[in-house]
Chain A
Amino acid sequence: MALALGRTVRRYGGMASMAPKFFLAYSIWVWMEWAVQTIALIITSFFWRAVYTDQTVIAGLAQSQTLTYVLLALIFAPFVHSTGMIYNFGYLLKEGQIAVELLRPLDFQAGQYVWRTAELWVGLILQVPLFIVALFLGMQPPLDPRLWAVFLVTAFLGHAVLFCFDWMLGCLAFYVTEIWGLSVARYGFTLFASGLLVPLALMPDWLAGILNVLPFAQALYVPLSFLTGIAPLSDAPRVWLAQLAALAVLLPLSRWVFRVAVRKVTVQGG
């Protein structure tokens, strides 16, 4: 048992350890990412300052609270972007590289999850300089370690929920040949549904209510709402229970969907 566990950790751990090497293979990409993200942080902070010019509170959120939220949302965006499977599956199928991936003696979904989570960690580490930039732009992150702990647990649970949901969306690639449009639609919807651009608290109640229960918000808005004081810390157990329940349904469902979809694989040519 312990031996088997050790082997599993070695296999998947090995995969996880590769993620930083990929991220850092092209240093120009890292520099460009920092430059673009810094510009995004600056524009976002100016925009929200402008919105609050004549008001101190909007929909119950003070200027500093909203500013902190939107800047943190940009910094923690990898939680919602790292799970996008539609483009990944589409690429694997289009290039026929799915054949190679399916030949590895690994659980395909577990392998992808480990890879995505490793990418997420690398992405978060690379956000550290942006965190410092955001502090200069007026972000006031909380200092209470309990808030950060609750944030991290909620965010990683939400990330797992979103991964399972995205996994099922990604399986559409097995049925349609064109996945670019679908991938862009997912990205666009995520910007709003996850609370990445606008806190869901600023949306109409009915819309916020719907978006709040979708997997996108679980990976960003819900965890950030603890960090920024939008939601009380006492809500955390209820939220975690809901996330675990969602995982209990989505994980087996996503595995079943893949098992059915993978039968459609067509890898033409040599």
Chain B
Amino acid sequence: MPVIQAENLSKVFHIPQKDPGVAGAVKALFRPRFQPKVAVDDVSFQVAEGEVVGYIGVNGAGKSTTIKMLTGILVPSGGQVRILGRDPHRERVANARDIGVVFGQRTQLWWDLALTESLGMVARIYDVPPTRYRQLLDQFAEILELKDLLHVPIRTMSLGQKMRAELAATLIHEPKIVYLDEPTIGLDLIVKERIREFIQQQNREQGTTVILTTHDLGDIETLCRRVLIIDAGKLIYDGPLSLIKERFGKFREITFDTASPVTTFTLPTGAEVVAAEERKLVLRFDRTRATASQVAASLMNQLEVVDFSLAEPDLANIIKHIYQGALREDGGRRTEDGGRKAEDGRPELQASLGR
């Protein structure tokens, strides 16, 4: 049974509209006007227990609004959400016990208190037994390298330290579901790496279900097998990350190091030269027209190859391509794993989840 169920979820905000100048301000005082803004539009998906799902999209696409509806903070304008069988808004307190949330730009810790006091308070609020709390605190302090920070007020911590502290506070009550809204925003590579390892460990050892929104595709590649892509409030992709790579990572690069300078050779079918140096050749090939082994074999028959390497498609470029409308352009083709058209006629790819 899925732990998260979103069915035809929608959220419409009413944004105040004002004419410019003092006259506009006065007019708005007596006759306020509101413009409806559809932030989330008919989004449906399910998440099974123990899954780690990446939820991505450009700024303003509706990621955070969806997360806030899943957590029970916002009330959907349409559709429904069930989290562990509950309505998260109506049963807010019960729902809150089973979930943990990190908002990358907000904190649940108390600014003026030392970390240990904040964590102790969170543990009390969530009824964590004192012995279990001490075990988890030791464990988290070790993994997230918080030992030296336990007696430091939150306000004096760096961004990376705060985020590690935030993660500890989010997981100290061992929630069944964790929503991570941009948890690595603004962090350096080492901290990002540590946070990713921590999330992986929690998922592996505790079976924690994770929904992750991020602009950092490194997070997605490291943590998620499945991604949801939202664009202008609509879910345009729900499926394995590998399928996206396969569909949109059409071109792969293969680099050859040769024993002697490269002079002439015949390009294999579907391949083109990206770079050619004296003893190095970089080719790009269309994976739908040739396989890596075909390209490699063709070159090896013509040149004395010392070494070669194959580069997988770069996810950042693929996602950028999708954000720029690749799924819309590509939508005319129905895929064997369940591609379909959205009700508004816009092409949409919905991968079969097979769970």
Could you tell me the dominant secondary structure of chain A's interface residues?
A: loop
Q: Tell whether B13 is near chain A: CB-to-CB under 8 Å.
A: yes
Other-chain residue from B104, B121, B125 in contact with A105 (beta carbon distance below 8 A) = B125
Q: Categorize the interface residue count of chain A.
A: 20 to 34
In this complex, what residue of A is CB-closest to B120?
A: A14
Residues of B within 8 A of A21 (CB): 112-113, 117
Cross-chain contact A15 with B127 (CB below 8 angstroms): no
In this complex, what residue of A is CB-closest to B155?
A: A25
Q: 1/0 per residue A100-128: CB within 8 Å of B? A: 10111111000000000000000000000
Could you tell me the distance between the alpha carbons of A106 and B185 in the complex, rounded to whole angstroms?
29
Chain B residues 243-278 with CB under 8 Å of chain A are none
Interchain Cβ contacts under 8 Å between A and B, 26 examples: A10-B127, A11-B124, A18-B110, A18-B121, A22-B113, A25-B112, A98-B73, A99-B73, A99-B103, A100-B106, A103-B71, A103-B73, A103-B99, A103-B101, A105-B94, A105-B125, A106-B125, A265-B74, A266-B13, A266-B74, A267-B68, A267-B74, A268-B13, A269-B64, A270-B103, A270-B185
Cross-chain contact A100 with B75 (CB below 8 angstroms): no
Q: Tell whether B135 is near chain A: CB-to-CB under 8 Å.
A: no
Residues of B within 8 A of A11 (CB): 124-125, 127
Interface centre among B103, B104, B105 (most CB of A within 10 A): B103
In this complex, what residue of A is CB-closest to B108?
A: A100
Q: Enumerate chain B interface residues (CB-CB to A < 8 A).
A: 13, 64, 68, 71-75, 92-94, 96-97, 99, 101, 103-108, 110, 112-113, 117, 120-121, 124-127, 153, 181-182, 185, 213
Q: Tell whether A146 is near chain B: CB-to-CB under 8 Å.
A: no
Cross-chain contact A263 with B93 (CB below 8 angstroms): no
Q: How far is the CB of B287 from chain A (nearest CB, A)?
A: 35
In this complex, what residue of B is CB-closest to A98?
A: B73
Q: Tell whether A141 is near chain B: CB-to-CB under 8 Å.
A: no
Cross-chain contact A270 with B97 (CB below 8 angstroms): no
Cross-chain contact A105 with B96 (CB below 8 angstroms): yes
Provided the pairs A10-B124, A105-B126 are in contact, do residues A100 and B113 lie with their beta carbons within 8 angstroms? no
Chain A residues 143-197 with CB under 8 Å of chain B are none
Residues of A within 8 A of B72 (CB): 102-103
